[in-house]
Structure 1
Amino acid sequence: MNHTPSPHMAEAAKSGAGLLCGLGLGPDRVRSPDSLTHTPSPTGGTPSSSPPLLLSPGLGESGDWESREELRLRELEEARARAAQMEKTMRWWSDCTANWREKWSKVRSERNRARDEVRQLRQRLDALTKELTGARRERQELASENETLRQEALRLRADQASPSQAPSAPPSSSSTPSSSSSQPFVDSKQDRVGEGPGSPEQEPVRDVDTEKPDRQKELELLESVLRSKAEGPDSWDARSASSLRSALSRQDRSRLLWDDIAAMEEDPGKITALQLRLDESQKVLLKEREDKHALSKSIEKLETDLNQWKLKYEEQNKTKQEAMKQLNMLKEVHQDELGRMSEDLEDELGARTSMDKKLAELRAEMERLQVENAAEWGRRERLETEKLALERDNKKLRAQTEDLEEQLARKRRQAASALDTDLKTIQTELFERNKELADMRHIHSKVKKQYQDKMAELAHANRRVEQHETEVKKLRLRVEELKKELGQAEDELDEAHNQTRKLQRSLDEQVEQSENLQVQLEHLQSRVTADRRSLLRHRGRKQLEKVKEREGGSGRRLRRQKSPGLFGKMRSARFSPENPDGPPSDPDEEEEELQIQIP
């Protein structure tokens, strides 16, 4: 904040310069006391806070003692300032170490949390691989059971076709192409089943240790930013301390200037010292103005930085909200897909149970058909044996009838010789033989009827066997269709598992991105809080400086009222009752008037 000199202060400075020139002192003879004694200040660039050392040829031993005392006081103040600066640096380092400890503890907790999540994901992966191996084992068992059923059906067909080759030749010939056509399909299914249950592919799990270099880079960047921010408060402290010292030195200089002006009226030999002090005050004023200008620039720069950080913080908040919205949307979509997949799995389990029930029913029906077929084969064999026995009996009866006819013809030929004697016996025998023949004919007709009935039953049994064969073909086709459906269901189940893995990977990536955004947001919040603290400290120091300046101005006004001196007389002459049009007195303007500017 540059103070432009008012017209009243410029007039006072011109009058003071004219007075000094009238006394015979030019501007080239004015020297700064800093050229005589220069001691290093704690800040290095600001003037010392103690009053300047005045050397005049007429002071003597008292001046030497006062200069030594002032040097000791100055060294004491410098030691105090250095001790305060060291305390500030120690506090700052302790705060920095505490902040870094907190940050490292957060990083360790995040690392442990990430490891726990990776461990849980690996456990879930192991459980899923175990379930997958169990499902593939069940699939192998079902395939082996289907193969055994197919072999049993083929064996039954072969057993049925072997005893009845003559009547069942067309169906057996028609069934052979179907069996031959079904053979490659089953072989291909077996090949696919054999290829399926290989070693389960484990999902590649990202290692958390690969992210350590990125985190180390981020931590190094944060260290550099914090160091630059930490250097800022120290420079502000140094500048505020220098401004306080300059204010105190200005008060002391003004007091000494008025004392010297009063002494100059008594002793004209001190004009050279006054010129030196005047030059020193002018240089100090220039330095203070430069410091004020630099402070104003730094304040404006900090305000722009603060606005930029606020904008960045708002942008980070917006990005965080958008990321949270996207994460919630992804979670909802993932939950919906998991619910749909669970429903699909339940439907597949229900379909599998229904298929198992159907297979059990088909097995029971096949066993029943096998039992009935065995019974029919037993009946058929028994009827065939009875038929063969009846044919043998018929042959025997025919042979007997032929023998009897031969005997009858022989007896007829013999009857011509012995008709009288043997006629009755022959007639009786013939009568008996006729009875026997009638009985045999009646028995033959009965046996013939039984044979016809048995042949009808055999034809009916053959028809039923053909019907059973057609049903067995239908069942075989149904079993093949069920095998196809089972393979499709297993393929769909594998696709569902792959989709769940992809969704889990995308969810892990979204969680990692959200954690990185959270860490960046925490770093930005810590930076904003540090900037706010530094601004609050600077404002408090400025307010303290203003209060001290006001108190110093009130003290100087009281001293001026007590001893006006030469400049007091000039001011009284300017602002006397005779000049009522003069401007009202202002403490800041009076202080500026005391600092005489020599062109």
Structure 2
Amino acid sequence: MSQKMKPGSSKGDVSYVRATGASPQLPMAPSPSLMRDGSHTPVSQMSNMDNDWDDRDEIRQRELEEARGRVSQMEKTMRWWSDCTANWREKWSKVRNERNKAREENRQLRAKLEQLVKECTILKREKQEIQAENVKIKKESPSGISENVKQDLENNMNKECKPAASEKYVEEKEINSQAANNVIQEDGTIAEEKATLFELKLDEAQKTLLAERGDKTSLMKTIEKLQMDLSAMKQKYEEAKRSKQDVLLEMTKLKEDHRGEIDRLIKDVDEEIGNKSMVDKKLNDVRKELERLQRENADEWGKRERLETEKLALERENKKCRAQIRDLEEQLENKKQQTSAVVDSDMRSLQQDLNDKSKELNDLRHIHTKLKKTFQEKQTDLDHARRRAEQYEMEVKKLRARVEELKKDLATAEDEADNQANLYRKVQRSNDELQEQIENLQVQLHHTQSRLKRSSQSGLTMTASLRSLDPTDPENNDSDEDEGLKRSSQSGLTMTASLRSLDPTDPENNDSDEDEGFRSVASCLKKIGWMTMDLQFCTIVYCLHTVEECRVISRAYSPPLDSPITPIPVDSTWGRPLNHFEAS
């Protein structure tokens, strides 16, 4: 039975755990039958059980307290780590704020510096423009200007007046120069008039110059003020430069300090991460251990509940047994008045029953041990059978592979058998064709035999012709003819031997040898005197054994040159014609 967690408790909370690690296995409760037999054994066993339960409860309480202490220690470490992380976060936030403030100050100083640089450049440009205007005024001034004007111009050059008054003076001088040029170019009269006008204009110009001197003085004052402002701006610029350098130095120092602090913080963070990973590992281990303890606790709690139920059942049985014992005691007290023999017999019977029950218990234990042994043997047999089954599976796999190979071999053998069957069919066809040829030859031989029977009437003429060709006659016994006859007969005998050694049905051996045999027989018959012979007669003579047989046939069968040949009886086994004696 697995114990469920509380819905409100966290994963690390173990307050709901009721027991801890696995304890030694509890002894089994005694059977109710033994408890019914005697009154002294259950009480002692129950006392032992209570003592064991107390010891185990104490051990479990200690283990539970240790687990709670570990959990509290882990909670403290987690809180410490959370406080450390909060402190580090605060430090990081402070450092970030300081860094942002330094960046903003740096930006403001840079903006001020840029403004001062722009103002300095503007003042430099104005100064250069004023100097250029003064140079132009010096170049364009005429010779008729008074010394006061020159002194004023020199003073203006030295004091760096503004371009407004100088522009007015330049315009007047340009007008005067143009008027002077016009006067020179005109005629004398016109020149004099223009000279007077020019003098008037000069007087007016002097008046204007006198009026403008006040303006120049005011301008000089403004220029002095501007110079003072410029010097002050220069001082401010130098101070800004110095402050900028100081700020840059401070920034470099701050950057170095910040980098060092960042490196230190990174190292601390890495160490914290490593420690945190170690703590996480430890937490995971502790969680696994807690889960294992919870499982073991659930198992132990289930065992405890089972034992409690057994304990309650045993208590009920004890109560029943006590009630029975009380009844028995009452019966014994009632029966004490009876004879002691009856009591002794009852006690003996009870003792005998107790002994029988103990014997039965011992027998059951012995049977239990035997069953255990048989179970172990069956287990070993089962393992052996599994191993054999695995071996059989391996053998079956091998046999399947062998069957696959045999199937392939069978397919190849079937292909070869088909090829052999095709060859056999071809040979059978050729044999049938040869058999037909043999039958045709037999028919032809039958016709020759019938012709021989018909020609039996002309036997006398044949004997006469053969006697005329008898080799025993000294007149016809020539040595050359005998030698030729012997040679031809020997060649015929060799051909007949070769034909007898071969199967007449074989078509391969019945072409060239027959032609040679026919030729040898034809030459032999020519030497004997047969000039024109039929092909059938040549075959008959060719199949004979000896030359003497040829002579006998030639004596018995001597047809005329142009008469048809009568058939000779032929052996049906080899197609060989019968000799003269076999035919008779």
If the length of structure 1 is used for normalisation, what is the TM-score?
A: 0.34
Using CA pairs under 8 Å that are at least 6 residues apart, name the structure with larger relative contact order, 1 or 2.
Answer: 1
| Higher helix proportion (structure 1 or 2) | 1
